[in-house]
Homo-oligomer: A and B are copies of this chain.
Amino acid sequence: MTDQLRVPYEGLKAFIQSCFMAEGIPKADAEIVGRLMAEADLNGSDGHGVFRLVQYIERLRVGGMTNTPNITVVKERAAMALVDGDNGLGHLAVNRAVEIAMQKAETTGVAWVGTRMSNHAGPAGLYARMPLKKDMIGIYMAVGSANHLPPWGGTEMLLSTNPIAVAVPTADEPPIVLDMATTVAAYGKVKTKAQRGEPMPEGWMIDRQGQPLTDPTKANDGFLLPIGGAKGYGLALIFGLLAGTLNSAAFGRDVVDFNADAKSLTNTGQLIIAVSVEAFCDVDAFKQSTDAVIRDLRASPTLPNFDEIRLPGERAYAVRLDNEKNGIPVHGALLEKLNNLANELGIQRLS
């Protein structure tokens, strides 16, 4: 087993596309999802890119997701739309939502587009970044695909890590891209700790008595903690209402754990807001101002134990540059799974 391969973006994209086409997904759709999943990996969101391919294909095969969705706009006004993803891959519904939002915002200045009957669509930052190319700010929220968070003070897991991502254009600095769960740690980080046999730091999870839980193999006996206690719980609730309930998508008790159940409809909801900077002010002046803020923050003296001040999105940007140059790292265990899939589908292996 090769320990790690670094696959060029184009190669990874083509591989994902081929897999989906072999599963009966139309070429145009397979191309979109291939591009978005490979881009997630390019940006270093390696828990949300090709890592999910086998899981998505399993869901398509058992009927939990449709491979030829008829994606439609079911509600529309000048500055909003609601996209029904018809239970296809979430990337298709959200990609359509972002395109509509950018198109509307070009005229109206701001547009808000929601999705329902969507599915897991990869990392939040992927979609918040899309409006940047039009000099727009992107804001994305989603209902997470499994409930791991109780209300503050409670023990029933009715909420997910409902993430938010916001991307802001810059001039010479890397774009600001905040991409965060409303919990201290995303659930994927807990799984990574378990895989590596490492304890979790205190503050990530508590057990049913409210005591710190640091053994990641016992994650099922406890809950994630929201950021800022009641505040993070409030944010998870609000993002869920906006991305879920408002779109007539699942939220709260109705959320299906897509890791545990590949068959049930998830009715996932997301939302994207596109904000045209040009509507508010001179675009170049805005970008220069954003750069100035970044440089002021970065120039702050640091506390002991900190080497530097980081900006949201800076690490992802550095990873992207490295991955563009050296290829996207695909680790051994994942590589083996992907090559097995390729063999099964009769398409070319990654290595």
Contact = CB atoms under 8 A, between A and B. Distances in A.
Contact of A237 (B231, B237, B292, B297): B297
Copies of this chain per assembly: 2
Given A153-B310, A227-B228, A309-B152, A241 B290 contact: yes
Contact of A79 (B110, B234, B238): B110
A115 B100 CA distance: 27
Contacts of A210: 303-306
A29 to B, nearest CB: 26
A155 B277 contact: no
Contacts of A71: none
A299 B104 CA distance: 41
A181 to B, nearest CB: 8
A166 B154 CA distance: 22
A252 B78 CA distance: 34
Nearest to A307: B153
Contacts of A150: 300
A236 to B, nearest CB: 10
Contacts of A77: 107-110, 276, 279
Interface in A198-239: 206, 208-210, 227-228, 230-232, 234-235, 237-238
A286 interface: yes
A345 interface: no
Interface in A274-297: 275-277, 279-281, 285-286, 289-290, 292-293, 296-297
A54 B107 CA distance: 44
A126 interface: no
A337 interface: no
Interface residues of A, number: 83
A154 B240 CA distance: 32
Interface stretch (A33-41, A85-93, A242-250): A242-250
B279 A80 contact: yes
Contacts of A78: 78-79, 107-109
A87 B208 CA distance: 52
B296 A253 contact: yes
Interface centre among A111, A292, A300 (most CB of B within 10 A): A300
A71 B320 CA distance: 45
Interface string A107-132: 11111101000000000000000000
13 contacts: A77-B110, A78-B78, A79-B110, A150-B300, A153-B306, A153-B310, A154-B300, A158-B300, A210-B305, A227-B227, A230-B312, A245-B289, A246-B281
